[in-house]
Amino acid sequence: MSNVPSDVKYASTHEWVREEDDGTVTVGISDHAQESLGDLVFVETPEIGRTVEAGEAVAVVESVKAASDVYAPVPGAIIDANSQLQDAPELVNTDPYGEGWIMRIRLDDPHALDELMDADDYEHLITEEDDG
């Protein structure tokens, strides 16, 4: 069973979003997402400074099985990317909500977070996907 912590929010495209105290959010991919992908071998992190729309493809995670886009779950400016993933992509597998974070975004509008799912809704989504 995948780990779905309740202190973060989720996008339907399987990113998680943690609200920080300074008006920024940290973004990664969910435990469910890393589990479906299998061992990651490359992570292409986003370009820092770029302005993105919600739903825009900004990063790529490539596993033994497939390459998959990572989408910006909220609109804003990318202010940081996890450079550790260059040499240690497996951090996304071993610690998806911690050391395996992918990027930080400065929100244009804090209300953008309201569009995201909470842990209960996300758990529903992945249960349905597994059954489907």
Partner 1 sequence: MLQRTPLYDRHQAAGAKLVDFAGWEMPLNYGSQIKEHEQVRGAAGVFDVSHMGVVDVTGPGARNFLRRVLANDAGRLKAPGQAFYSCMLNDQAGIIDDLIVYYLSEGRYRTVVNAARRAEDLTWLKQHTAGYDVRIRLRADAAVIAVQGPKAQACLGKAVDARLESRLAGIKPFRVVETGDWLIARTGYTGEDGFEIILPGRSALDLWDHLTAAGAVPCGLGARDSLRLEAGLCLYGQDMDTTTTPLESALGWTVAWKPEDRDFIGRVALESQRARGVVRRLMGLVLDARGVLRHGQALQSDLGGEGEVTSGGFSPVLGRSIGLARIPADDDGPWTVDIRGRALPVRLVKPPFVRNGHALVD
Footprint of partner 1 on this chain (CB under 8 A)? 35, 38-39, 41-42, 44, 60, 62, 64-67, 90, 93
Residues constituting the chain = 132
Rounded to whole angstroms, the Cα distance separating 132 from 111 reads 32
Rounded to whole angstroms, the Cα distance separating 26 from 116 reads 14
Cα distances (angstroms) measured from residue 25 to each of 3, 52, 65: 20, 13, 29
Comparison of 31 and 44: residue with beta carbon closer to partner 1: 44
Comparison of 8 and 44: residue with beta carbon closer to partner 1: 44
In 3D, which of 78, 66, 69 has the Cα closest to residue 27?
Answer: 78
CB of 7 to partner 1, least distance (A): 26
CB of 42 to partner 1, least distance (A): 5
Comparison of 26 and 34: residue with beta carbon closer to partner 1: 34
CB of 24 to partner 1, least distance (A): 27
